[in-house]
Amino acid sequence: MDARPPRTAADERSTLVGFLDYLRSAIAAKAEGVPEPQVRAAGVPSGTNLLGLVKHLTAVERFYFLGEDVADWAGTMRATPEETVDRVLAAYRDAIARANEVIGTYSDLALPAPRPSRRASAPSMRWLLVHMIEETGRHAGHADILREQIDGSTGR
């Protein structure tokens, strides 16, 4: 993934996906190279940690773009001992690649996005892309703070 913001002259879908990919790469970069157990260490009383953020965003990508249901949203914030940094990051990157394939099939962003079976109606792909930029950006900010608490690393 490119670590620079997308170009301003791109079409709507390219711009939205470009910003989303920019944030996705920031999330992954914040978890890369962080040793155990710090990558799982809660930085705030709620228990939020870097690896949990990546696992959660993987579930969010799969839920919205691939239509996979999530039975336990709270559980997506905690990696199990078997879920290594490499495995969680690989799953995130796989979900992103698959999501981008789905997004690429949309010539009209006003069309409904994929949805899990329990939802009555699906938002448009445009809405979903904007929502995912917001969701990923919000968690990228959390990741920035957590990483700085771990080793002082700041920036992208």
Q: Is residue 41 part of a domain?
A: yes
Q: Is residue 3 part of a domain?
A: no
Residues 57-108 have pLDDT tens digits of 999 999 999 989 899 999 999 999 999 999 999 999 999 999 999 999 999 9
Q: Is residue 109 part of a domain?
A: yes
Q: Is residue 65 part of a domain?
A: yes
At 149, the pLDDT band (50, 70, 90 cuts) reads very high
pTM flag (> 0.75): yes
Q: Provide the domain count of the chain.
A: 1
CATH number at residue 61: 1.20.120.450
Mind giving me the DSSP string for 82-125? T--HHHHHHHHHHHHHHHHHHHHT-S-TTSBPP--TT-SSPPBH
Higher-confidence residue of 125 and 5: namely: 125
Phi, psi dihedrals of residue 5, rounded to the nearest 5°: -60, 155
Q: Is residue 6 part of a domain?
A: no
Range of 114's domain? 12-151
